[in-house]
A and B are shown apart, each in its own frame.
Chain A
Amino acid sequence: MSTTDARSALGAGRARLSPRRRQEISRRVQYGLLAAVLVLLVATTDWGRMGTTFANPDAISAIAPDLPRAALNTVLYTLAAFAVGLSLGLLLALMKLSTVRVYRIIATAYVEFFRGIPALLVVFAFGYAIPAAFQVRFDSVILQIGLALGVVSAAYIAETLRAGIQAVPRGQVEAARSLGMSARSTTLRVVIPQAFKIVLPPLTNEIVLLTKDTSLVFALGLLTTDYELTKLGRNALSEASGGMTSILVVGLVYLLITIPLSSLTRWLERTTGYKGHV
C-alpha cells in the first residue's frame, strides 16, 4: 500500500533529529553560554574598584551642581543649530528643486561640500578663522556653535527635505493647481504639510545627531558657564579621582535628552497622521 510506503519513508528519517528538536537544543546551548559568561564576569570582577570607578559618590557630587546648566547648554546649542540647519536646509532644498539650473548647481555644491568635511573643521572655522579673517566677534557661544553646526546640518537636512517634498505624489500638485491655486499656496497648503509627515523621522534623527555633535564646542575654548555635557564630563575627569564616573553620568544625561526625542516623534506621527492612505 502506498500509505505504508510513505510511513516507512518518513520513519527512515527518525534516526536524525527533526529541525524543531535541533532548534530547541541550539537555543538551550545559547542560554547556557550566556549564563556561563555572566557567572564568570561576576566572579572575577573587583566590585569595590568598580564602584569607585563607575559610580564614585565623590565624583558624582563634584559635577552634580553643574549638570543642569551643562544639560541646558547642550539643549540650547542643539536648538540653535537645528534652527539654522532647518531654515538654511529648506532654502537649499527649494534651490535643489528649482527650475533655475544655477540654483540647483549651487545647492548641490553646498551639500557635497559640507557633507564631505568633518564638522570639527567647521567649528574651528567659526571659532578662529572667520573671526580673524572678517574681524567679527561672536557675542554668544550659542550663536557661534549654532551657526557652525547649523551650516553642516543644513546639508543633510536639505537632502531630507528634498526627498520628502518629492515623495508627495504629483497628482496632489495637479489637483491643487487645477483648482486655480497658485504655485506658492500649493506648496504651502498641500505639499509641505504632507512632506512634513514624511520627513519627521529623518529630521528627529538629525536632532539626535546634532545633540551629540554639540560636544564639538569644546574646540572653541569656553567659559565654565558655557560648558555643555561633554566638556563638563571631561574636565571632571582630570580633576577628580572618580575614574569613569563623570563620563558615565553625562552619558546618561545625553540619553535623557535623546530618548524622549524618539517618543516625541512617535507622538507627532500619531497626532499629525491622517487615517488610511490615499
Chain B
Amino acid sequence: MSAASTPGTSTPTPGTSEPGTSQPGAVVEIVGLHKSFGEREVLKGIDLGVAQGEVVCVIGPSGSGKSTLLRCVNLLEQPTAGTIRVLGTDVTDPDVDIDAVRTHVGMVFQQFNLFPHLSVLDNCTLAQRTVLGRSREEAEAIARKNLDHVGLADRAASSPGQLSGGQQQRVAIARALSMDPALMLFDEPTSALDPELVGDVLAVMRDLADDGMTMLVVTHEMAFAREVADRVIFMDDGVVVEQGAPDQVVGAPQHERTRSFLARVLDPTHRHTA
C-alpha cells in the first residue's frame, strides 16, 4: 500500500493547500477529517483543499465516503474529528454561526430537493428573502437572472412537480446560485436523472466552471470529470487513494484500486477478478 492511501497522509498537488495552514485563496481546507456513524468509520482521515476558482471532482465506488465528505463541508454531517475551514472559518468550531457559512456555500442534491409547495420562482427567492433580507423585487430579479442562466426563465411560474428531473435539477442549481455562493457543492447531481436529461445539467455545470465558480463535485460522470475538473480525487473505503490532474487520475491511474474502479465504471460489462 502506498503512502497516498494511508489514512492521514496525502500527496499535495498544485492547487492543494498544505494541511493546517491557511492559504489566501483557499476556499476549503480539510485536515484530518474523520466521520463515524456509530461503530462504522466512513471517513478515515481526509486532507483536502480546494482553491479559489478550482473545480474538484471526487470519484469512487459507492460507500467510499465521498458524499459524506461533501456533506461535512457544510456540516449536514457533523465530523467526528478533524477541522474543516470554509472561506477561512472553521465550521467544526461550535461557536461558529453555521447558517452564515452555509449562505456562502450552495449545495445541489442527487434528489433535487426542490420545495414542492412553492413555485419555481419562489423556490429561488425563499432563502434570499428570509436569510439575506432581500426585498421581493430584488430577490425575484436575481432569481429570474439565474433561471435564465440555466435556461428555464419561462418556467418561473411552474410547480416543481410539473418539471422533468433535469429541469428540476437546473432549478436547484439556480436556487443555490441565487444566494451568490462562493462555493458550490454537487452531490451526484445527475445520478437520479434519465440518461437523456444528464447532458443539460452537465452543460449548466460546465458553464459555471467556465465562469470561475469554485466547485466540489461528487460524480460518476467520468467524461465530465476529465473535461471540466482541474483536479480529480479518487476515494475508496474512507481515504483519498489518489489525486491529481484528470488526465493523470482518470487517464493513467497509478493505483490498482483506481484502475479497477475505472474499469468497472467505463465498461460495466467488464468482469473484474482481483
Q: Which of A169, A193, A197, A276 contacts B161 (CB 8 A)?
A: A276
Docked pose: A182 CA to B159 CA in angstroms: 24
Q: Which of A174, A180, A189, A278 contacts B116 (CB 8 A)?
A: A278
User: Is there an interface contact between A172 and B76, defined as CB atoms closer than 8 Å?
Assistant: no
User: Is there an interface contact between B117 and A179, defined as CB atoms closer than 8 Å?
Assistant: no
Docked pose: A275 CA to B76 CA in angstroms: 29
**Size class of the contact patch on chain A:** 20 to 34
Q: Which of B105, B111, B161, B176 contacts A277 (CB 8 A)?
A: B161
User: Is there an interface contact between B160 and A278, defined as CB atoms closer than 8 Å?
Assistant: yes
Q: A172, A182, A197, A274 — which one has the most chain B CB atoms within 10 A of its CB?
A: A274
Q: Which of A174, A193, A278 contacts B114 (CB 8 A)?
A: A278
Taking the complex as formed, is B179 at the interface, i.e. its CB lies under 8 A from any CB of chain A? yes
User: Is there an interface contact between B168 and A278, defined as CB atoms closer than 8 Å?
Assistant: yes
List residues of chain A with CB within 8 A of the CB of B168: 278
Docked pose: A246 CA to B111 CA in angstroms: 59
User: Is there an interface contact between A174 and B113, defined as CB atoms closer than 8 Å?
Assistant: yes
**A274-B117 contact, Cβ under 8 Å, with A176-B127, A180-B127:** yes
User: Is there an interface contact between B160 and A178, defined as CB atoms closer than 8 Å?
Assistant: no
**A276-B160 contact, Cβ under 8 Å, with A177-B76, A177-B102:** yes
Docked pose: A189 CA to B115 CA in angstroms: 10
**A180-B159 contact, Cβ under 8 Å, with A171-B113, A278-B116:** no
User: Is there an interface contact between B161 and A278, defined as CB atoms closer than 8 Å?
Assistant: yes
B131's nearest neighbour on chain A, judged by CB, is A180
Give the shortest distance, in Å, between B145 (CB) and chain A (any CB): 17
Taking the complex as formed, is A83 at the interface, i.e. its CB lies under 8 A from any CB of chain B? no
User: Is there an interface contact between B107 and A278, defined as CB atoms closer than 8 Å?
Assistant: no
User: Is there an interface contact between A172 and B113, defined as CB atoms closer than 8 Å?
Assistant: yes
**Size class of the contact patch on chain B:** 20 to 34
Interface string of B125-150 (1 = CB under 8 A from A): 01100110000000000000000000
**A174-B130 contact, Cβ under 8 Å, with A182-B99, A275-B159:** no
Q: Which of A178, A189, A277 contacts B102 (CB 8 A)?
A: A178
Taking the complex as formed, is A207 at the interface, i.e. its CB lies under 8 A from any CB of chain B? no
Docked pose: A174 CA to B103 CA in angstroms: 13
User: Is there an interface contact between A277 and B103, defined as CB atoms closer than 8 Å?
Assistant: no
Give the shortest distance, in Å, between A277 (CB) and chain B (any CB): 5
Taking the complex as formed, is A190 at the interface, i.e. its CB lies under 8 A from any CB of chain B? yes
A:239-278 near B, CB below 8 Å: 274-278
Taking the complex as formed, is B243 at the interface, i.e. its CB lies under 8 A from any CB of chain A? no
A:150-188 near B, CB below 8 Å: 169, 171-172, 174-182, 185
User: Is there an interface contact between B159 and A276, defined as CB atoms closer than 8 Å?
Assistant: yes
List residues of chain B with CB within 8 A of the CB of A169: 113
B116's nearest neighbour on chain A, judged by CB, is A278
B:234-251 near A, CB below 8 Å: none
A188's nearest neighbour on chain B, judged by CB, is B130
User: Is there an interface contact between B99 and A181, defined as CB atoms closer than 8 Å?
Assistant: yes
Q: Which of B105, B115, B131, B159 contacts A175 (CB 8 A)?
A: B115
Taking the complex as formed, is A194 at the interface, i.e. its CB lies under 8 A from any CB of chain B? yes
List residues of chain B with CB within 8 A of the CB of A277: 116, 161
4 A-B pairs with the lowest CB-CB distances in the bound complex, closest first = A276-B161, A180-B103, A179-B127, A175-B113
Interface residues of B (CB under 8 A from A): 74, 76, 99-100, 102-103, 105-107, 109, 111-117, 126-127, 130-131, 159-162, 168, 172, 175-176, 179
